[in-house]
Amino acid sequence: MTTEPSQNLAFGVDVGGTGVKGGIVDLSTGALVGERFKLLTPSPATPDAVAATVAGVVDHFEWDGPVGVTYPGVITDGVVRTAANVDEAWIGTDVAAAFGAHLGGRKVTALNDADAAGLAEQRFGAGHEHGGVVVLLTFGTGIGSAVIHNGLLLPNTEFGHLEVDGKEAEHRAAASVRERKEWSWKRWTKEVTKVLVAVENAVWPDLIIVGGGVSRKADKWVPLLENRTPVVAAVLENTAGIVGAAMAAAGKGTS
Ligand code: BGC
């Protein structure tokens, strides 16, 4: 399918630890137009190898327009600044230059993975057009965060690296910690509560959205949380990163 970029269509790619997933997004509904296409994340996941894989996903759709891409770390001025759970070779990478080389000069906008998911969930998902301050936290290998105020993203908040009771939040309560320690939902949720309390004391959100794979099991742990802000589970799971990346490529929710 050859698809021309139009006012309402944009392209997003979500770069994850195991898969690089992309698709064409209708920005008026947040739905994917057609399929979601996935290629395996290369190993080692160096910038050049990942960029080639992203290009493979984009080419699959014969997409000619700008491309939004997620990355699991801090990006400022288009340059990668951190690599907590990925190859350190990423630090200092100019994403537009590295990806542009494989994407034939298409404009590339890169943003943090949790920021992308937050934009998508606030606009189209669990926080559907929720006003005020919405915080999204993703629980996976690490903890990612997004802060959205009245639809506009405050990028690179990195709450996963907040020190909570003498320990980094993501070392205390990431989903990977629960798996490694073989904790019950109840035991793990105690740690998640501590992280949520630290976050809500810092930014006083109106709503907290919890995402990552564990949001599919939300009924097992969200009711056990003891923090004060209302918490809802993310709903876009498979597509949040793609949709948020596409929004960023189109300049929606970012400044
Ligand atoms: C990174 C964040 C990222 C999160 C989830 C953290 O370790 O610092 O930038 O959003 O993991 O991938």
| Confidence (pLDDT) at 4 | 53
Sequence-separated (6 or more) residues with CB below 8 Å from residue 184: none
Nearest CA owner, ligand 1 atom 12: 72
Q: How many angstroms does the Cα of residue 31 sit away from the middle of ligand 1?
A: 25
- Ligand 1 atom at minimum distance from 170 CA: 7
Q: How many angstroms does the Cα of residue 142 sit away from the middle of ligand 1?
A: 6
Sequence-separated (6 or more) residues with CB below 8 Å from residue 219: none
- Ligand 1 atom at minimum distance from 160 CA: 6
pLDDT digits (tens, 9 = 90+) for 78-128: 999 999 888 899 999 999 899 988 999 899 999 999 999 999 999 999 999
Residues having CB within 6 Å of any atom of ligand 1: 72-74, 82, 84-85, 112-114, 138, 140, 142, 144, 158, 160, 170
Alpha carbon distance 220, 127 (integer Å):
20
140: exposed, middle or buried (Cβ count in 10 Å: 0-12, 13-18, 19+): buried
pLDDT digits (tens, 9 = 90+) for 3-58: 555 569 999 999 998 999 999 999 999 999 999 999 999 999 999 999 999 999 99
Q: Which residues pair with 19 in a beta bridge?
A: 40
| Confidence (pLDDT) at 129 | 87
Q: For a pocket test of ligand 1, which of 76, 80, 112 has the largest count of ligand atoms closer than 8 A to its C-beta?
A: 112
Alpha carbon distance 36, 97 (integer Å):
25
Delineate the domains of the chain, giving CATH numbers in brackets.
9-115+238-249 (3.30.420.40), 129-235 (3.30.420.40)
Q: How many angstroms does the Cα of residue 158 sit away from the middle of ligand 1?
A: 7
